[in-house]
Amino acid sequence: SDNDKRKRGLGIMEELLEWLEYIEDVHQTRKVRHKLKDILVLVLFATLANADDWVEIEMFGKEYRTICVNISN
């Protein structure tokens, strides 16, 4: 059913977000404007939404900023 598919999708998303925690961000903390995890989530979602380049990813990020940040936190 659609409800089962949605639950499976959410489970996969939660697992993916947990795995993103293991990626080490080697940047100097004081020079970082955005967390690496947030950037990766944004790029993933924008790509799934058919963003083809960095300009489209930026546009997606501005449009869905609140959603992306809430998901990655």
Residue 28 CA, chain-centre distance (Å), reads 21
Question: Which residues contact residue 48 at a Cβ distance below 8 angstroms, ignoring those fewer than 6 apart?
Answer: none
Tokens of 62: 């501005």
Residue 68 near residue 38 (C-beta atoms within 8 A): yes
Query: Residue 50's pLDDT is what?
Result: 93
Is the pTM for the entire model greater than 0.85? no
Alpha-carbon distance 60 to 46, whole Å? 6
Query: Residue 32's pLDDT is what?
Result: 76
Give the pLDDT means over successive 10-residue stretches in the chain (73 positions): 68 76 74 80 88 93 77 63
Tokens of 44: 């993933």
